[in-house]
Amino acid sequence: MTRYILLAVLAVVALIAPFFVYPILLMTILCFMVFASSFNLLLGYAGLLCFGHAMFFGAGAYIGGWLMKEGGLSIELAFLGAALAMAALGWVVGLISARRGGIQFAMITLAISQFIYFLLLRAPFTHGEDGLQRIPRSDLFGVVDVSSNLSLYYLVLAVSVAAIWFFYRIVHSPFGEVLRAIRDNEGRMESLGFVPERFKILALTLSAGLAGLAGAMKASVLQIATLHDLSFHVSGTIIFMALLGGLGTLAGPIVGAALVVLLTDHLAQFGEWALIIQGSVFLVVILFFRRGLVGELQAFLKRRVARA
Amino acid sequence: MGEYALEAQGLTKTFGGFNAVTDVNLKVRRGSIHALIGPNGAGKTTCFNLLTKTLTPTSGKVFLDGRDITRLRSAQVARQGLVRSFQISATFPHLTCLENVRVALQSNHGTAYKFWRSLKAVSALNERAHELLGQVGLGHQAHTPATELSYGKKRALEIATTLALDPKVMLLDEPTAGMGHEDIEPITDLIRKVSDGRTILIVEHNLSVVSSLCERITVLQHGEVLCEGAYAEVSNDPEVITAYMGGIDE
């Protein structure tokens, strides 16, 4: 019951928020919430540390942006196209890397992301260092105008809610149960007749698709897609978001994404000090909130229930 | 169907020049409980890993119900009905007992890839999972995460998970290892109970467990079969006594 009340409150807040807060900032938060969830699917539920996760986000931004600017597609098709293209890339990355675990998986994904980075630096349609600029916000279904910040906000909100619901569905599906079992004990799953790579490849495909969607949304929000989006810096930021909020909890990385985006926004005025402050926050979380903010909160509530 | 459920012929495994297992021939009679014993480092666990294809043999062959399974992967071997347990407790710590067993039941259920379905798709398996948990005495702990179970109960959960595949042949790697006195008897009883209609090969250090459970015993030493027979024969074999106690003039 409390859950439904909480969801209702959240829904109201989300609907009226753009009247009080700058919509672009809110939409950036939503994009990173989806992106952080896709990362959580891999690390929190499949135990796969992807060190180059920004490749799906950044390349998704390029593809979504290109589809709207050069392809003249409507916005929902651009989102869909980016998600599908990134799912395909995730599948290929999975084929190459899924047999490896731990640090090897991390390094292979990092290497592939660097490769994609240079590919996009050199590709003719990306405009090199300049990136894709002045990406238009195409009409929804070719008819509904979403070029204003406010109307785009409601579209991005709807798509983000759908994406996070999809993430929730994956985690609480028969496949999600198998995935968590593989995370806990891969060898045992193999001895029970499962082929773990296949499940990891599927997880990577789904996660990459979600990250690609997040990237395409970001391209429509900021109307720009640059190499920065797929840089190692963004890959690192997403790890920070997930750990800050709490891995393997559904809401953790979502909360983490919101906090980090807000923190970055507020700290921008301090210039270079921003990174130092961010680093300190990270250190405190790692040392004192090992389960992340949401993870610690859940543990605290559980203890209180147990005592009562 | 032959007389033997599981058979190894000339099984050999070399790790960079070191022969861990040499020319092991093993025949496990259908429906029996067969023990593999031997001093530390005799190659028992390596043998196990070879039989379940966790390791690939350097040479030799493995047959399950007369079919050559030497070339299969371990997941395929499991699907053919040969399922193992592990020496170290092999549960899924962050899953509840029910989920531990249910995920194993999914192995033959065709839902494992369905990421778009809710867990209602596997609710049909809950009944069987509860039944298996009840069988190993975990009926009232279905919703406890495996990590919170005691050591003995983790082993019981592991057996329930293994049983979920309804294996024809079960390989148990030291099921009572590290267990306190009070846990050993329930596990021994459990193994006897679940052996009905199955073939079991068991690696075990505790000789009283072996003598009470097993019809036939194979003794390994230095990666080779030292002797084979019933408990009474094996335990009186001078070579076995020497292997375990150490020779007087050594």
- ipTM rounded to 2 decimals: 0.82
Q: Output the average pLDDT for chain B.
A: 83
Q: Provide the residue range defining the domain that includes B118.
A: 92-148
Confidence label for A285 from pLDDT (cuts 50, 70 and 90)? confident
In a domain, B110, yes or no: yes
Interface contact flag, B112 A178, Cβ < 8 Å: yes
pLDDT per residue as tens digits for the range A208-263: 999 999 999 999 998 888 888 888 888 888 988 888 888 878 888 998 898 888 88
pLDDT exceeds cutoff 80 at B179 = no
In a domain, B155, yes or no: no
The domain spans of chain A are 23-232
Give me the pLDDT at residue A249, please: 85
Give me the pLDDT at residue A85, please: 94
Q: Considering CB atoms only, which of A174, A178, A202 is closest to B121? A: A174
Q: Considering CB atoms only, which of B52, B76, B103 is closest to A178? A: B103
Give the B-side interface with A, CB within 8 Å.
52, 54, 73-76, 78-79, 83-84, 86, 90-95, 99-100, 102-104, 106-109, 111-119, 121-122, 161-162, 164-165
What number of CA atoms fall less than 13 Å from residue B32's CA on the CB side? 18
CATH number at residue B82: 3.40.50.300
Let me know whether B104 and B28 are in one domain.
Answer: no
pLDDT exceeds cutoff 90 at A38 = yes
Evaluated on CA atoms A75, A37, A188, B158, the torsion sign reads: negative
Confidence label for B249 from pLDDT (cuts 50, 70 and 90)? very low
pLDDT per residue as tens digits for the range B13-57: 888 878 888 888 888 888 888 888 887 777 888 888 888 888 888
pLDDT exceeds cutoff 90 at A168 = yes
- Mean local confidence (pLDDT), B205-220: 83
Interface contact flag, B94 A175, Cβ < 8 Å: no
List CB contacts (< 8 A) between B118 and chain A: 169, 172-173
Query: How big is the A-B interface in CB pairs under 8 Å?
Result: 109
In a domain, B157, yes or no: no
Give me the pLDDT at residue B39, please: 79
Confidence label for A308 from pLDDT (cuts 50, 70 and 90)? low
Let me know whether B114 and B176 are in one domain.
Answer: no
Best of A45, A177, A179, A195 to mutate (most B CBs within 10 Å, chain B): A177
pLDDT exceeds cutoff 50 at B250 = no
The Cα–Cα gap between B200 and B82 comes to 10
- From residue A36, give the alpha-carbon distance in Å to each of A53, A139, A142, A258: 10, 27, 30, 10
pLDDT exceeds cutoff 80 at B235 = no
- Mean local confidence (pLDDT), A17-36: 90
pLDDT exceeds cutoff 80 at B245 = no
Give me the pLDDT at residue B23, please: 84
Query: Which residue is closest to A45 within chain B, CA to CA?
Result: B94
Burial class (CB in 10 A: 0-12, 13-18, 19+), A214: buried
Let me know whether B17 and B73 are in one domain.
Answer: yes
pLDDT per residue as tens digits for the range B105-145: 888 887 888 888 878 878 888 888 888 888 888 888 888 88
CA angle A278, A281, A285 (to 5 degrees): 140
The Cα–Cα gap between B18 and B50 comes to 16
In a domain, B153, yes or no: no
Best of A99, A165, A188 to mutate (most B CBs within 10 Å, chain B): A188
- From residue A214, give the alpha-carbon distance in Å to each of A152, A153, B247: 14, 14, 71
In a domain, B212, yes or no: yes
Give me the pLDDT at residue B59, please: 86
The Cα–Cα gap between A183 and B103 comes to 13
Q: Which residues pair with B172 in a beta bridge?
A: B202
Interface contact flag, A175 B113, Cβ < 8 Å: yes
Interface contact flag, A173 B116, Cβ < 8 Å: yes
Identify which of B109, B102, B186 has the alpha carbon closest to the alpha carbon of residue B150.
B186
Instruction: Indicate the number of domains in chain B.
Output: 2
Let me know whether B103 and B206 are in one domain.
Answer: no
Let me know whether B8 and B81 are in one domain.
Answer: yes
Query: Which residue is closest to A186 within chain B, CA to CA?
Result: B92
In a domain, B154, yes or no: no
For the ranges A80-89, A101-110, B185-194, the one whose mean pLDDT is highest: A80-89
